[in-house]
Amino acid sequence: MSAPLVVNTRRGVCWTRRTVTEGGIALYAPVAVRTCPEFVMATLAELAAQGITGSADVLPVPVDPVAAGRGLDLLALMDERAASRVSPVLAGVLDKAEKLRVENGRLRDRIAELEALTPAEIQTCRVCGAGYTYGQPCATCVFRKRMAAERGAGGA
């Protein structure tokens, strides 16, 4: 078995050997892709066509899979049949990811906006509805608690 365990291609993708076919052909998938169906895996010859910049027989230091995935053109790694099936799904996923990114940014802005607010000096107690000074306990609640304790201690 002379096929390397790790191959780097010119486009900056790091490939790891995932399996070897019955015919003895090593199949590779990008390191960022955890599970990869065999039909989209690449052979060493296909990687050579992309331009191999390095290879090794040991596993690489783990890379940030998200960052590595961003630079990856998955459709370019597939044959046409697979790409035509995966393309609409991928487009949907990317569309959803973009919407989530926008929503995330909107929420971050809202949080920053809320954190920048200064609370009013007089707050409304959520227990009794009376007004109290911000940062202090509610005087009405404190009074009621004390009265209840007095009544309890007095034996009614």
Judged by the rule CB under 5 A, the positions of this chain that interact with Zn ion are: 125, 127-128, 138, 140-141
Beta-strand (E) ranges in 4-156?
6-9, 14-20, 26-30, 42-43, 52-56, 122-124, 131-133
What is the rounded distance in angstroms from the CA atom of residue 73 to the CA atom of residue 103?
25
- Smallest gap from Cβ 126 to Zn ion, in A, equals 8
For residues 6 and 128, which CB has a smaller minimum distance to Zn ion in the complex? 128
For residues 58 and 127, which CB has a smaller minimum distance to Zn ion in the complex? 127
Q: Token pair of 16, please?
A: 């790891």
- Smallest gap from Cβ 141 to Zn ion, in A, equals 3
Helix (H, G, I), strand (E, B) or coil at 124: strand
Phi, psi of 52 (to 5 degrees): -85, 125
- Smallest gap from Cβ 124 to Zn ion, in A, equals 9
- Smallest gap from Cβ 107 to Zn ion, in A, equals 31
For residues 18 and 144, which CB has a smaller minimum distance to Zn ion in the complex? 144
DSSP 79: -
- Smallest gap from Cβ 119 to Zn ion, in A, equals 16
For residues 19 and 124, which CB has a smaller minimum distance to Zn ion in the complex? 124
Distance of CA 26 to the CA centre of its chain: 31
For residues 3 and 125, which CB has a smaller minimum distance to Zn ion in the complex? 125
DSSP 61: P
DSSP 121: S
